[in-house]
Amino acid sequence: MPHPYVLLSAAVSLDGFLDDTGPERLLLSGPADFDRVDEVRASSDAILVGAGTIRSDNPRLLVNSAERRAARVDAGRPAYPLKVTVSGSGDLDPDARFWHTGGEKIVYTTDKGAARAADALRGPAVDVVSTGAELDWRTVLEHLYGVRGVRRLMVEGGGRVHTQLMGQGLADELQLAVAPLFVGQADAPRLFGPGGYPPGRMRLVETRAVGDVVLIRYVPTAPGTGALATAADRRWLGVACELAALCPPSRTAFSVGAVVVAADGTELARGHSREGGDPVAHAEEAALAKIAAGDARLASATVYSSLEPCARRASRPAPCARLILDAGVRRVVTAWREPDTFVAGADGSGLLAAAGADVVVLPEFAERAEAPNRHLLGAG
């Protein structure tokens, strides 16, 4: 099940705090950055904060600009994004401003918290959804996408929420506004707490001065592990689909893109079909050929391929599924299972899985993977 694009947004002090320990919310951003945040809210389908932020800050979480609200309505969207919170306890103050301003609201909670939340929120119209015995973030994201139609989710904290979404590899982007002041209190809430995070370095996509704060935007790079897809997996598969569009056209072979990424998010190589003028080159083959045999990083690397690696081919002795296994790679993420166009019953995923590799198929990318191949599928 697809997830919305998850954008973590926070303002931090120079020493990494989200707030101080005082009773009032610490204003870290200046007017220009609050306006930027308003713009990001207006571009989002939903805004999420944890129950801790509702208790401590009592936020409204509105789109404040009338022009931006009008533009949303003109585009057929509600004036305000859906407001979302998570609470394990269900202990929510019905008088909080969150419930009495803006548009629709939803609470994700546990089986235990659901009764308490429904009881507390009898007044305001709020949807209360339990994800089971525990709060499960993947279920929250799948529900937002599948049931509430949310494609872009802005997460505005607090630290506990940011820590989990980043740690579980579920954040597509981090937008940090670094404010020029110190908090200096050991007990103040930090942006990210202790925990397991994806390894390696994130990728910087933008820095911008906004008044006296600096906006920094990072995207994740480290692939997931095992059978569960992460936000970084989705981003890399998107790159593979872009590469597929670069292939010289052919009536006798698919156009495919592939990227090989080390566990720490380092791109090892990329390739696409018929690369370098070789009429029979496959994407995975072209990418793997650029990496030294025996490179120790291959054992924990992930291969992203817009089409599942081939299981049989006439043009070369070894199909790509075999090349991947021989290179030592044990994780493949792909968008599209091979149709019977050239080879009946090709099952590269089956071949890989039988050899112990994890194969993750993300069908939400199939349309992008198929796009440069429409003429082979009788649709163009």
Ligand X SMILES: NC(=O)c1ccc[n+]([C@@H]2O[C@H](COP(=O)([O-])OP(=O)(O)OC[C@H]3O[C@@H](n4cnc5c(N)ncnc54)[C@H](OP(=O)(O)O)[C@@H]3O)[C@@H](O)[C@H]2O)c1
Query: Of the two residues 169 and 189, which places its CB atom closer to ligand X in the complex?
Result: 189
SS (H, E, C) 206-234: EEEEECCEEEEEEECCCCCCCCCCCHHHH
**Candidates 51-59, 73-81, 355-363, 365-373 — which segment interacts with ligand X by CB under 6 A?**
51-59
Query: In the β-sheet with 358-361, what is the strand arrangement from edge to edge?
Result: 267-272, 257-261, 302-307, 331-336, 358-361
Of residues 21-40, those binding ligand X (CB under 6 A): 25, 28
Residue 189 binds to ligand X (criterion: CB under 6 A): yes
Contact range with ligand X by CB under 6 A, out of 159-167, 286-294, 331-339, 351-359: 159-167
| Selected binder of ligand X within 4, 50, 309, 372 (CB under 6 A) | 50
Residue 170 Cβ vs ligand X, minimum distance, rounded to whole Å? 12
Question: CA-CA distance, 47 to 98, in Å (whole number)?
Answer: 11
Of 135, 178, 280, 371, the residue at the interface with ligand X (CB under 6 A) is 135
Residue 86 engages ligand X in binding (rule: CB under 6 A): yes
DSSP string, 357-378: -EEEE-GGGHHHHHGGGGGGTT
The strand ranges marked E within the chain are 5-12, 46-50, 82-87, 105-109, 127-130, 152-155, 173-178, 203-210, 213-219, 257-261, 267-272, 302-307, 331-336, 358-361
CB of 10 to ligand X, least distance (A): 4
Please give the C-alpha separations between residue 55 and each of 125, 230, 336, in angstroms, as whole numbers.
19, 30, 45
Rounded to a whole number of angstroms, the minimum distance from the CB of residue 161 to ligand X is 4
Q: How far is the CB of 87 from ligand X (least distance, A)?
A: 3
Read off the amino acid at residue 17. F
Kindly state whether residue 53 participates in binding ligand X, applying the rule CB under 6 A.
yes
Separation CA 369–CA 371 (nearest Å): 6
Angle at 359 between CA 322 and CA 238, to 5 degrees: 100
CB of 54 to ligand X, least distance (A): 7
By the rule CB under 6 A, 157 interacts with ligand X: yes
Cα distances from 30 to residues 33, 115, 210, 211, 305, in angstroms, run 5, 40, 8, 7, 44
Q: Would you count residue 49 as binding ligand X (CB under 6 A)?
A: yes
Distance CA 290, CA 269 (A): 6
Q: Is 141 in the site for ligand X (CB under 6 A)?
A: no
Torsion 293-296-300-301 (CA) sign: negative
Under rule CB under 6 A, residue 206 binds ligand X: no
> Nearer Cβ to ligand X, position 28 or 63?
28
Is residue 350 within 8 A of residue 311, CB to CB? The reply is yes
Q: Where are the alpha helices (DSSP H) in 203-313?
A: 231-244, 283-288
Per CB under 6 A, the list member of 52, 167, 200, 350 interacting with ligand X is: 52
Q: Which 8-state DSSP code applies to residue 301?
A: -
* Total residues at interface with ligand X (CB under 6 A): 27
Closest CA to 97 of 153, 49, 135, 141: 49
* CB closer to ligand X out of 91 and 111: 91
Confirm or reject binding of residue 47 to ligand X (CB under 6 A).
no
Contact between 10 and ligand X per CB under 6 A: yes
Q: Does 301 bind ligand X (CB under 6 A)?
A: no
Candidate segments 66-74, 160-168, 209-217, 360-368, binder of ligand X by CB under 6 A: 160-168
Query: 170 vs 376, which CB is nearer to ligand X?
Result: 170
Span of 85-93, 228-236, 306-314, 342-350 interacting with ligand X by CB under 6 A: 85-93
Q: Tell me which amino acid residue 249 is.
A: P
Q: Which of 51, 62, 232, 352 binds ligand X (CB under 6 A)?
A: 51
**What is the binding site for ligand X (CB under 6 A)?**
10-11, 18-19, 25, 28, 49-53, 56-57, 86-89, 91, 135, 156-161, 164, 189
